[in-house]
Amino acid sequence: IPKMSRRLLVLMQNKPFSFLSPSSQPTGNKRFALELLTQKNCAVPGHSAILDDPKDERGLLCAGRLDADSTGLMLWTNDAGLMQRIIGPHVEKEYLVRVTGHEKWGPAQLEEAVRWLQHGIELDDKPLRPAKARWLNDAQLQVMLTEGRHRQIRRMCEVIGVQVRALKRVRIGDVRLGALPVGYWRTVHSIMLPSRNEQTHSRSSPKRLGASPNNHDEAQIIRRVVIEPHGNGTA
């Protein structure tokens, strides 16, 4: 009897406030976001019949954790290699950040704060990778990162003198949260990721943002991973 290949799963979830990511220490009555990966919470009618409760899938990994007091897009996969590619430095993550403490700032100070967020901050005595940031309105920032240190955006905001009121992740790579309801999940059918070779190369010789890549165009190292419904993904 031929051995069936293990199906590759990639799921997207809209994590609610106060729910915990894996490896978090449970406190009080807080629950883990994994518990919400059930057929009941599938956002696509009829689609959940394809899967049992994903929370019971062996080896399901969170590809990009969120703090309990942060909300928004989380990705899950049962492939450790794919998880590493998703959380790697070539995949941009986008956040909406509602802040306070800047209400009396003038235009120059607001712009200076953005410049610091983009490329002027160190955490734990180590410089951050360059980021993208801008004011969306008088109370909300858009921040895009290619790394994910512990509570990074909240700590970045502390450095520039503002406090985070709400933090929501809305995009990982080309996967967008969109209109997915809070607490619900659905499958991801494809995702743009760096090739395996590039991921390996980046660990041995990291590229400076904006530097010209060697021997090939930067766009060529990005591949679309297609998630097959009953088998392995292809990249």
Enumerate domains of the chain plus CATH numbers: 8-87+174-194 (3.30.70.580), 92-172 (3.30.70.1560)
Residues designated as active site: 67
Whole-structure pTM value: 0.83
Pairing of strands 71-77, 163-172: parallel
In the numeric block, which tokens belong to residue 233?
Answer: 């993904």
Each residue's pLDDT expressed in tens, for the chain with a length of 235 residues: 444 456 788 999 999 999 999 876 767 778 999 999 999 999 987 665 566 789 998 899 999 999 999 999 999 999 999 999 999 888 999 999 999 999 999 999 999 999 999 998 999 999 999 999 999 999 999 999 999 888 999 999 999 999 999 999 999 999 999 999 999 999 999 898 877 655 444 443 333 323 333 333 334 355 666 665 544 555 5
Cβ-Cβ contacts under 8 Å for 225 (sequence gap 6 or more) = 10, 82, 190, 191, 192, 193, 233, 234, 235
DSSP secondary structure code for residue 145 in this structure: E
d(CA 75, CA 68): 15
Report the C-alpha gap between 113 and 119 in whole angstroms.
10
Give the separation between CA 74 and CA 170, rounded to whole angstroms. Answer: 9
Of the candidates 72, 74, 93, which has an alpha carbon nearest to the alpha carbon of residue 182? 72
DSSP 92-122: -EEEEEEEES-TT--HHHHHHHHHHHHH--E
